[in-house]
Amino acid sequence: ETGVTQTPRHLVMGMTNKKSLKCEQHLGHNAMYWYKQSAKKPLELMFVYSLEERVENNSVPSRFSPECPNSSHLFLHLHTLQPEDSALYLCASSQVWTSENIQYFGAGTRLSVL
């Protein structure tokens, strides 16, 4: 248990569905992240929230919409996804602006888009 909880662990959705991924951190961190990990590809940073404000959006398609209502919760809203969006979606948190800016990852949500 890393202190970062992601739900659901597995998700299968059609291209017309709307779903949301949830992430919760119990570490008191001030930054949260969404990463996409596809087979045989490096970790791709999607979104960064620092102090609840989005500070980075690495040109992610608009069918992915993040939401960070407070420092402990992070959502990724999904709509009209494509099969190539099937991947492991990892949430992480860290304490930025400190010497211990270590990323703690959740177990991930394995997403399959049919």
Partner 1 sequence: GQQVMQIPQYQHVQEGEDFTTYCNSSTTLSNIQWYKQRPGGHPVFLIQLVKSGEVKKQKRLTFQFGEAKKNSSLHITATQTTDVGTYFCAGLQNTGNQFYFGTGTSLTVIP
39 binds partner 1 (CB under 8 A): no
DSSP-based helix, strand, coil % in the chain, nearest 5: 5, 55, 40
Angle at 103 between CA 110 and CA 75, to 5 degrees: 45
C-beta of 23 vs 78, nearer to partner 1: 23
Window of 15-23, 48-56, 62-70, 71-79 that interacts with partner 1 by CB under 8 A: 48-56
Q: Own/partner pairs for 62-67, CB < 8 Å, 24+ apart?
A: 66/34
Q: What character string, x for contact with partner 1 (CB under 8 A) and - otherwise, covers 55-94?
A: xx---------------------------------x-x--
